[in-house]
Structure 1
Amino acid sequence: MKRLFIVASILFYVANANANNKTDINVSTDGTRTTLFGDVIQGGLLYGKSTEAVTSVKIDGVKVPVHPNNNLFVFGFGVDAQEQSELVITYVDGSVDRQPLKVAQREYKIDRVNGVAKKYVSPPKSVLSRISSDSAKVKKAREKMSYRTDFLEKSIRPAEGRISGVYGSRRVFNGVPKRPHFGLDIAGPTGTKVIAPWAGKVVLAEPDLYYSGGTLIIDHGLGVTSTYIHLSKVDVKVGDEVQQGDKIAEIGATGRVTGPHLDWRLNWFNRRLDPALLLDE
């Protein structure tokens, strides 16, 4: 029979979505095997480090890739993640840690946006195949899996400007309810410099997708990607390696927008996370 252990030492940084601050919560029992770092909240990204060899990790039954060299893993909670979650870690000796996680729930604002071109609210049939093709390109880019570990570094802001839109807000375009907003909007003049918040490898660089306009996706490892949309200019190409702080693009007003801004997004595979939680501001 496999022995069961509670995850021995877990350090949680829980973000308060309303007060915009973080609280440290220490959970420990005898012995130390795994430590978690991140935000146990809807939209939060967490990574774990283990002192013993790990064979598998699952979050709510979903397989989490494990780095082959240093027993590192990362995962995230989506915009509507349930409050009760469970992390299961299996070690090379066959023992298993099961840790319940209480995911902080958030209240999302309703964001009413008027003046959006009709073709972006109710697209004509003539562009549906293009929209489908665009979606497939983005999905394929986010499915790429590497063993990069760029997400371990402290992130920096990708552009200067006013925050004009936030993660999770329920969007209503011209009175028509649409999907929630999944990024952080930074308003700025067309041509404003966009820099890489983390190092990474470019996996998508498109000058003109239907909804997102100029679009860039960078891989940071183990399913973590960042996305930059509505760009007026893309300065990198697929396969390029970028370093933190490198200029990668310029803010624009391409795709479905009402003014120039950067929409910065964060994903763990297909789970959409909140990039604002990466910053101290």
Structure 2
Amino acid sequence: MILNRRGVVLGSGALIAAGAAHARDDEGLSLTGRFVQGGHALGRTWPRALVFIDGESLTAASADGWFIIGFDRDAAGSVQIEARLDGRTARRTLDIARGQFPSTSVNGLPPSTVEPSDPELLARIQQEIVLKTEGFASRIDADHFRDGFDWPLEGFRVTSRWGSQRVLNGTPARPHYGIDLAAPQGTVIRAPAAGRVALAQPGLHFEGGLILIDHGQGLITAYLHQSRLDVAAGQDLRRGDPIGRVGMTGRATGPHLCWRMKWRDRNLDPSLLVKT
């Protein structure tokens, strides 16, 4: 499947994103989005209301009343969303559809990127984990997700779907929490929505050149394997701003962009937010 940045099919194949869904409005709470494992709910409620997910307070609405929550790969079949403000309460229960996650094999990777054992390399990996954890902990007060996302590349071919069970050099690995977009080396990568750069780090062992963008309320997108980074941590971005270039750094066997998304500790499929 080949798509352009606006989601228009350039070659044969079906669009991978699940259809949009909309929950019946409750007074004070409106929900739309992709109600599927790996998907999300985009909500509107009272400004600055606390938002509870299955009874746990996890986020708060923006000054305009917008919020987002995510459903990870193993999300349960239903979830209750509740907004509370000054004694007012609105709640909805959503049915979450099961995702379809194929198994994919990747061979020819250097052994050190599959099962590293060198003590110095392991120490380096731990230091990089600290950097990434700090980046994913960014929480700017914004709702840049409210208008959906563009694809980060103008043209690409999807080579690995989000959530696939990975087998690396014949060894089963954790699921692939990214969608791989193949494009020529040096292709410009653009911010799919406004946000703030939470991390811009070249040369990571697994990710290579990595950028994290905070779009507000704990929604972070990640851009892996870049050959060049064109932004710095703390920089504010507009939709469409160039951030770097496609490469094959880190654990990669060819030039591509691995595009990832997290909402707090939940891994999400970023393609499901394209023009929600």
The answer to whether the superposition gives a TM-score over 0.5 is yes
Helix, strand or coil: the match of 1:207?
Answer: strand
Task: Output the CA distance in 2 between the equivalents of 1:277 and 1:207.
Answer: 27
Task: Output the CA distance in 2 between the equivalents of 1:247 and 1:19.
Answer: 25
Q: How does 1:221-260 map to 2 (within 5 A)?
A: 221-260=216-255
Matching of residue 218 in structure 1 with residue 213 in structure 2: yes
User: How big is each residue's C-alpha offset from its partner over 1:242-279, in whole Å with a ceiling of 9 and x where there is no partner?
Assistant: 11111110001111111111001111112110011123
Task: Output the CA distance in 2 between the equivalents of 1:276 and 1:68.
Answer: 23
Aligned residues: 261
User: How far has the Cα of 1:57 moved from its partner?
Assistant: 1.4
For the 8 Å contact 2:23–2:30, the answer to whether it is kept is no
Q: Which has the higher contact order (CA 8 A, sep 6+)?
A: 2
Q: 2:143 aligns with which of 146, 149, 153?
A: 149
Matching of residue 164 in structure 1 with residue 162 in structure 2: no
Q: Which has the larger radius of gyration?
A: 1
What is residue 73 of structure 2 aligned with on the other side?
A: 79
What is residue 199 of structure 2 aligned with on the other side?
A: 204
User: Which structure: greater strand fraction?
Assistant: 1
| Structure 1 residues 23 and 266, CA gap change in structure 2 (3 angstroms) | closer
For the 8 Å contact 1:64–1:73, the answer to whether it is kept is no
For the 8 Å contact 1:67–1:147, the answer to whether it is kept is no
Could you tell me which runs of 5 or more consecutive residues in structure 1 were left unpaired when the two chains were aligned. Answer: 1-16
For the 8 Å contact 1:64–1:74, the answer to whether it is kept is no
Question: Which amino acid is 2:141 matched to?
Answer: Y
| Structure 1 residues 164 and 250, CA gap change in structure 2 (3 angstroms) | same
Matching of residue 27 in structure 1 with residue 21 in structure 2: no
User: How far has the Cα of 1:166 moved from its partner?
Assistant: 1.0
Task: Output the CA distance in 1 between the equivalents of 2:23 and 2:193.
Answer: 27
What is residue 118 of structure 1 aligned with on the other side?
A: 111
Question: Which amino acid is 1:147 matched to?
Answer: D
Query: What is the CA RMSD across the aligned residues, in angstroms?
Result: 2.0
What is residue 129 of structure 2 aligned with on the other side?
A: 135
Percent identity reads 34
For the 8 Å contact 2:145–2:193, the answer to whether it is kept is yes
Q: How does 1:22-61 map to 2 (within 5 A)?
A: 22-28=19-25, 32-50=27-45, 52=46, 55-61=49-55
For the 8 Å contact 1:54–1:89, the answer to whether it is kept is no
| Structure 1 residues 236 and 154, CA gap change in structure 2 (3 angstroms) | same
Structure 1 segments (4+ residues) deviating >3 Å: 17-21, 23-26, 52-55
User: How far has the Cα of 1:48 moved from its partner?
Assistant: 1.2
User: How far has the Cα of 1:280 moved from its partner?
Assistant: 5.9
Q: TM-score, normalised by structure 1?
A: 0.87
Question: Which amino acid is 1:22 matched to?
Answer: G
What is residue 8 of structure 1 aligned with on the other side?
A: none
Helix, strand or coil: the match of 2:133?
Answer: helix
User: How far has the Cα of 1:84 moved from its partner?
Assistant: 2.0
Task: Output the CA distance in 2 between the equivalents of 1:23 and 1:273.
Answer: 15
